[in-house]
């Protein structure tokens, strides 16, 4: 009886581990959208290359608390990020940077972002991942605030059909 229980438990563990380890290869020419689950949700997108689904162009969001006296909080959506992200075996992990101009509608104020973005394709057209990061807000070239996300936030991106 104990051997039978052990066999069933072993099989269940192997199947559950296999389910979480599977990552799919992305399709080429996709535009995936979603919201990062920060305390104040922010939009982002991932676009796969037209010929090579393993090359991703990313635009990320940010929501963080700031120090330094200029701002107390910073949020932004769909900030173009570089470099291009490479997918290997359906998974990716990269450090990205981006700049947003006229932050908060203030001329001359820029946000300089740095993100840690990792995840995997659970299906050929679905991405799950985490995003965390820091930002520096500058007014006419002078740093006025440094901002940081509280903790990594989850995101799920899917193909959105036109409404």
* pLDDT tens readout for residues 57-90: 999 999 999 999 889 999 999 999 999 999 999 9
Q: What is the pLDDT of residues 13-41, one digit of tens each?
A: 444 444 455 788 999 999 999 999 999 99
Determine the pLDDT at residue 151: 94
Q: Are 131 and 152 in contact (CB under 8 A)?
A: yes
Q: Which phi and psi (to 5°) does residue 103 adopt?
A: -60, 130
b/e map of 63-82 (b: 16 or more CB within 10 Å)? bbebeeebbeebbbbbbebe
Indicate the average pLDDT of the chain. 89
Tell me the pTM: 0.83
Q: Which residue, 106, 103, 105, is CA-closest to 136?
A: 103
Determine the pLDDT at residue 23: 82
């Amino acid at each position: 009886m104990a051997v039978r229980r052990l066999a069933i438990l072993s099989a269940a563990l192997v199947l559950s581990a296999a389910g979480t380890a599977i990552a799919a290869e992305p399709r080429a020419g996709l535009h995936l959208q979603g919201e990062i689950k920060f305390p104040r949700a922010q939009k982002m997108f991932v676009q796969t290359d037209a010929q090579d689904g393993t090359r991703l162009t990313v635009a990320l969001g940010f929501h963080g608390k700031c120090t330094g006296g200029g701002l107390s909080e910073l949020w932004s959506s769909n900030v173009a990020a570089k470099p291009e992200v490479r997918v290997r075996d359906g998974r990716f992990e990269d450090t990205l940077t981006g700049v947003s101009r006229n932050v908060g509608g203030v001329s001359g104020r820029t946000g300089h972002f740095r993100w840690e973005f990792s995840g995997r394709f659970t299906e050929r057209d679905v991405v799950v991942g985490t995003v965390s990061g820091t930002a520096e807000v500058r007014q006419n070239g002078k740093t006025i605030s440094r901002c940081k996300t509280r903790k990594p936030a989850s995101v799920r991106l899917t193909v959105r059909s036109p409404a």
